[in-house]
Each structure stands twice: as structure tokens, then as C-alpha cells.
Amino acid sequence: MKGRERLISVSLIVLCLVAFRAAGQQMPQFSQYMTNGLVINPAVAGIENYMDIRTSFRKQWVGIEGSPTTLYTSVHASIGKSDRNATGRGKFRVKGNGSGHKIDRNNRFRRVNPHHGVGAMVQVDQAGLLRTSSVNLVYSFHLPLTSTLNLASGISAGAVRNSFNTSRARAVTPSDVALLGDQVSMTKADLSVGTWLYTRYAFLGISGAHLINSGSDFQTPLDYSIAGRLVPHYFITAGYRFQVEDLMITPSVLYKKASPSPGAIDLNVKAMYNERVWIGASYRNRDAMAFLFGLNVSPLLDFGYSYDLTTSHQNETSAGSHEIMVGLKVNNELRVLCPQWVW
């Protein structure tokens, strides 16, 4: 039975590989993009005053043989950023004179100077015998439109390599030219662009990934080829955060589209207490419910964890998905506990 299950798994992977050109969702699924917007929009790079370093590990559909495993590390920082009258830690909790309401005394002076953002992201995704690796460099420019409204535009460029380990495949037709040699691989140029319109309390982001739709193919050792195109992915996200005593609540929404698959919507809410501890929930239509938890340990270290409870037909065989993220805020001179400009 185990050999039969393995054969079925490999057959499905090969089918996905051959159908790569017409496939929809090619990018890994993340539940904690709410704490690292760089994974869906390059314009986020350099939005804070510190260097943001994040590493995430995700195991999807636990219990299913060959289910996706994703690991990435991202880093980005600003060049020339200086927020006027920035007060650092606790600025969301300044109290008025006897009113008991939370206000920001410097709100009218909270203006971002024009500045650049730079960064990089390395990612490895393993699904059965199919392995996808990517390296991207990121650049963004942030421009204040008014004293409170800012606009960032960003671009991410790099390469994506897809490889299929044919030496471990157990195919129904061993002579299939697609499986000749020890490995079938393809390297393609990758390009993403995005914009991010934001204030201290609201944001709207629009981005596109895998925008270079070239005709490069998987190449076998004998120069046989299987067509393989990267499918463009599009994202639109928006959110607003507001204060209720020491509780900061951020509802948000994400719409994503990758043809020919139908568009999907994520509905999210995140609640943070005293800028230290946060919990959240996300509903991904026709897919899963995600439950999130995080802790800002210090101005240097924070971490997050999420568990996805599958609501699709996969719940019959899957024990859900786990995702862990560890973040470092390097050169954080203002000793900020939680991000001040995003989620």
C-alpha cells in the first residue's frame, strides 16, 4: 500500500509539472504575510526606521506525504529615512489630559521624509519531488503626499529555479522522456512590482508577482523540453488599525488572483495588547481558517506562530498547517516594539 501511495503522489507531481504552463497558484501559501508584507509587495521595503530581518518555516497539510514545506529569509532596510518628531516605543499609548482617550500629541507632525528602501529575499519550497528556489533583490522609494499620507513604489527582481528529482520517481512509464536523467530543471527570470499607500493607521497595497511570462522550458539532459511558464499573481490588500484603550485592533482584507484559478479572499483581524502580545484570525475562502499568535519579546526580537485548520476537502487527510516566524529589528535606535507604519 505504501508503494502504491508513493506512486500516486509522484504521478500527481509529474502531472502538475507537465501542466505547469496552465497551472494557477504557483507561489507558496503564507498565513503570516500580515507580519511581513514584503512577501506579497516589494513596496514595503524600508518602510520602518530599522533593518527588518525575518525567517519563516511553513509545513503545509501535515499528514499528507510530499506536502509542501517552505522556508524563507527576508531582509530590508531604509536609506535616508527620518520621521519628524518620532517618539519611539509607546507612542500609540500617549494619554490626553484627564480625558482617558488615546491620542498622539505629535500626530500632525508625523511625516515621513522621502527615502529609499532596499532588501533581499531567499526562498525554498519543496513539494514532493518538485523543488522551487528563488533569490530576489528589492528596491523601493517612499514619497510623502501630504503630512500624513505616503506612497511607496517597489520592484523585486531575481531568478526562480524549479527542479524535479527524476531519480526518485516511480513512474508508470519509465521511458517517458520527461523523466530521463537524474533531474529536470528550469531557471527563469522573476519580476514583481507593487505600490503601497499608507498612513499611520491605514494602508492600501497593490502588487503583481511572476510578471515575466517567458517561454523558457524545463530542460532534460537530452534536450527534450516540457513547456513551463510562470503564471502572474496579483494581490490587493487593505486594512485599518484603531486603538481601544491598550488594545490595538487591525482588520484587513487580501484579494489574490492567479489565472486561470478563481480569485480568493482572505479576511483577517489582529489584536495587540500593550504593543507586546497579539493574536489573530484569518478566513481564507474555500481553503482554511488560520489562528495566529505573536509576541514582541524586545525591541530586537519578536516571533509569530500560526495554525491553519483546513476547511476544504483536504481536511479528510490533512492535520492542518503550521507556520513559525522569527523576526529581528536591527539598528532599532528608537527601540520600537511593534511596526509603526504597517499591520
Question: CB neighbours of 118 closer than 8 A, spacing ≥ 6?
Answer: 45, 46, 76, 77, 79, 137, 138, 139, 140
Q: What is the pTM of this model?
A: 0.80
Size of the chain in residues: 343
Spatial separation of the C-alpha atoms in residues 109 and 103, rounded to whole Å:
13
Contact 120, 73 (CB under 8 A): no
Q: Check residue 112 and give its pLDDT.
A: 82
Residue 179: its H or E element: none
Q: How far apart are the first and last CA of the chain?
A: 47
pLDDT of residue 119: 97
Q: Are strands 233-240 and 225-227 parallel, antiparallel or unpaired?
A: unpaired
Burial class from Cβ neighbours inside 10 Å (0-12, 13-18, 19+) for residue 173 reads: exposed
Q: How far is residue 102's CA from residue 248's CA, in Å, rounded to a whole number?
A: 11
323 near 56, Cβ under 8 Å? yes
pLDDT tens string, the chain, 343 residues long: the values are 444 444 334 333 333 433 333 344 568 889 999 899 999 999 999 999 999 999 999 998 787 777 889 999 999 999 988 776 555 555 554 444 444 334 344 344 467 889 999 999 999 998 878 889 999 999 999 999 998 999 999 999 999 998 877 666 665 555 555 555 555 778 889 999 999 999 989 999 999 999 987 655 444 444 444 446 788 999 999 999 998 989 999 999 999 998 777 889 999 999 999 999 999 999 988 788 999 999 999 999 999 999 998 887 766 666 789 999 999 999 998 899 888 887 7
pLDDT of residue 15: 38
pLDDT at 180: 55
Residue-level pLDDT at 182: 53
pLDDT of residue 225: 45
